[in-house]
Structure 1
């Protein structure tokens, strides 16, 4: 399907897509929307920012009975922010329907008694929420999900990481046996397998391969701290970028508080989001962010996985995350929906092993330095290692000789070591030539 119109969705669904100016489906949507429409259980694995939300929402609305009285769809997300994001995307489609489509968002920190009161008069068509609140309402008998035909577990790996999988398991146990289960995740950890085996029936396992683990539209820069004061360096970077919206990721709440205070005292409009911020305050901050009252947001990894802020032009990593899997999710906050973005990661020599691990995962870095008020290309941190790779790999004996050569030694001894190195190489060449000659003679004999 090259265009959304080729799916022949209901009229109001297509109108909602037109309103968003969505014309072409992403790679994930092309491959997985037909699977969801077929009714099969699905495990969809793809990188963040690839369009997973509409991958399940569009076929859900296509199947929805707008005249129904009971809950037809249950969607869980591991954080309030992510659940609210899905809720807003769902409402955007529902609002284009002439018939009322009831969508409810059940998350912690909201008025539970009011939700229960509303459930007494009518059940929502689509339930979205965090596992804890959804299960609370199911357990009390106020939310009736026993007739639902679709169950979506979004960000399953984060659900597992945050300890919510047992609650999701209980929700699944309250659903009909023939419910269609859709699991979406950036990664599929081994610890998720028991849940998948327990509830999914012969699922389609689809991993959307991409040439890079981060979007091609993102410039991924590596900047050395060089022993500088990091607060001052981030302030300089932030002022140089002049972003539409920049997210600055840190590893701890304490670091978030410290950096937020420093940047604010230096005149930047900075918001702060981490697990220690009270829910009501966090909601207020998020509303201010959406109203563009801030240019910068200092956040921990909870925000990296849990929220989707529109228009993030830059990501700054104050440090490489302690859990390397979070790096992709951080960087994925920018460069979404084909828009350009820039991710800047500050590093020091002790981070080298972590950087190499990220490179093994397919993350490509471009070394940069901020000089004269602009970012400029700089030397590769691996320049010495790359030089050494150009030489033939040495065996243990040779490595010992070379290491000795690097030390401060007596005059004339360097020449002796060089001679030994040269002799070693000559012996190896002679051995290679003899082996080659034997092989040629053997081949000649066999040809007669």
Structure 2
């Protein structure tokens, strides 16, 4: 099946073709016709399945008819992170170039005044993180009673980051009868309850089994001592044919430390975490996508925000504390049918053991154990030219000459 059979307009099909895509992914093939028909959609799909285009493509066609009013966006898309919001904005720009749609991005780290100017002009599509959206709403700079379509993306990540109360508040403020698109990689009970409350007879679309990992990813679990993790990581980076790779840590503090360690050892590396300014984060992402930076140390803020088709390796410096994060992290490689490798460093401690068991239970498979990494420093080789050629001169063959010389001892009177 091609995109031309999904009911998309000619300008949108042309943009898709120019982007190099010929066949829709399973979630795109199922979601696009349903969205175009105006139905609520509940999509369960892991990262890397193409769901972003699954809702942006039909929204572009729907919103091409109509006109935006000041402070009253027609479509609202909620994303948990700045990176994901920026990714969706890029998708609208890529596929919507044949239409005259207006768009605004409401994320932290950007000046309020600049965002307010865009809202005052009126936008068709508003892409926002929940916190920044509510900031504008409580200031009276934004009205939500003109929303025709609401998209809640990466709902389970919203739950992990504590945004569900904000999402509920936003949904309650949209009083107009509207279409709702809801996407999540997993369906924990809290999310399921939310969908029953705010979706009206949704078309449920499930792609692959729950919390599965792509078959194109070769996974390895590497057991090391807690003090040997950095050495083991450097060894893997040197031994593996790494075209480019992402190194995930559980804490921002660890991201900085691993980044500094790799930089000191001469690796071409950058870092990405929540303490960085938005301009810095966007620049390091640009450098990584352009292959100007080979390695990227990141916290889970980037686990779902990176849309790079050809990442060769993922390294989990820490075992993810949430089993779902393992799927999202390693899903940065092995995308679009390509092969990828994912290495996870673990210790024999109780905490890591418990995390690994939770991951293996969720994915339904044991993670293959890698070979033990030899971290012993190589023995220095002594060249033949460096060996002594003559014995010491003196009282014997092994006695230094200064010991063979007579020494005059003067006695004190």
Q: Shared topology, TM-score over 0.5?
A: yes
Partner SS state of residue 304, structure 2: helix
SS of alignment partner, residue 365 of structure 1: coil
Q: CA deviation at 1:211?
A: 8.9
CA distance in 2, matches of 1:228, 1:194: 43
| 1:266-281 mapped onto 2 (5 Å cutoff) | 266-281=265-280
Q: Is the 8 A contact 2:249 2:255 kept in 1?
A: yes
TM-score by length of 1: 0.77
Partners of 1:115 and 1:355 lie apart in 2 by: 43
State the match for 1:37 in structure 2.
36
- Per the TM alignment, residue 128 of structure 1 is displaced from its structure 2 partner at its CA by 0.7
* Structure 1 residues 115 and 252: alpha-carbon distance in aligned structure 2, compared to 1, 3 A threshold: closer
Which sits farther off after the overlay, 303-312 or 35-44? Answer: 303-312
Report the 3-state secondary structure (helix = DSSP H, G, I; strand = E; otherwise coil) of the residue aligned with 1:275: coil
CA-to-partner distance for each residue in 1:297-348, whole Å, 9 max, x for gaps? 1111222134334532110111211122211111111112222211111223
Q: CA deviation at 1:39?
A: 1.7
Return closer, same or farther for 1:371/1:358 CA change in 2, 3 Å cut-off.
Answer: closer
Structure 1: distance between partners of 2:232 and 2:159: 36
Judge conservation of contact 1:72–1:148 (CA < 8 Å) in 2: yes
Does 2:79 align with 1:80?
Answer: no
Cα deviation, residue 85, structure 1: 0.6
The range that moved more, 287-296 or 352-361, is 352-361
Q: CA deviation at 1:75?
A: 0.3
Q: 1:331-378: per-residue Cα shift (whole Å, max 9, x none)?
A: 1111122222111112233344433332222245233327799xxxxx
Q: What are the within-5 Å matches in structure 2 for residues 271-350 of structure 1? A: 271-350=270-349
3-state SS, counterpart of residue 338 of structure 1: coil
Note the 1:88-237 alignment, pairs <5 A: 88-97=90-99, 100-120=100-120, 122-210=121-209, 213-225=212-224, 229-237=228-236
Separation in structure 1 between the aligned mates of residue 314 and residue 180 of structure 2, nearest angstrom: 34
Indicate how the Cα distance of structure 1 residues 44 and 234 shifts in structure 2: closer, same or farther if over 3 A, else same.
same
Separation in 2, partners of 1:107, 1:371 = 43
Q: Deviations over 1:135-164 (max 9, x none)?
A: 333343433442221100000111122122
2:371 alignment partner, SS class: strand
Aligned pairs, number: 369
Would the aligned equivalents of 1:313 and 1:334 in 2 still touch at CA under 8 Å? yes
Higher relative helix content: 1
Q: What CA distance in whole angstroms lies between the structure 2 residues aligned with 1:372 and 1:322? A: 27
Tell whether the 8 Å contact from 1:104 to 1:127 is kept in structure 2 after alignment: yes
Deviations 1:7-36, CA, capped at 9 Å, x for gaps: 131111111111221111112222222322
Whole-Å separation in 2 of the counterparts to 1:295 and 1:342: 15
* Greater shift in the superposed pair: 53-62 or 352-361: 352-361
**Which residue does 1:366 correspond to in 2?**
368
CA distance 1:211–1:124, shift in 2 (3 Å): closer
Per-residue CA deviations over 1:24-63 (Å, capped at 9, x if unaligned) read: 1112222222322232222211111111101111121221
Q: Please tell me whether the aligned partners of residues 255 and 298 of structure 2 are also in contact (alpha carbons under 8 angstroms).
A: yes
The separation in 1 between residues aligned to 2:366 and 2:97, in whole angstroms, is 42
Q: 1:54 and 2:53 equivalent?
A: yes
The change in CA–CA distance for 1:228 and 1:108 in structure 2 (over 3 A counts) is closer
Decide which moves more: 258-267 or 20-29.
20-29
Moved more, 349-358 or 31-40: 349-358
Quick one: distance in 2 between partners of 1:146 and 1:9?
A: 28
Aligned to 1:22: 21
C-alpha distance in 2 between matches for 1:177 and 1:144: 11
After alignment, is 79-88 or 270-279 more displaced? 270-279
Measured after TM superposition, the shift of residue 226 of structure 1 is 5.8
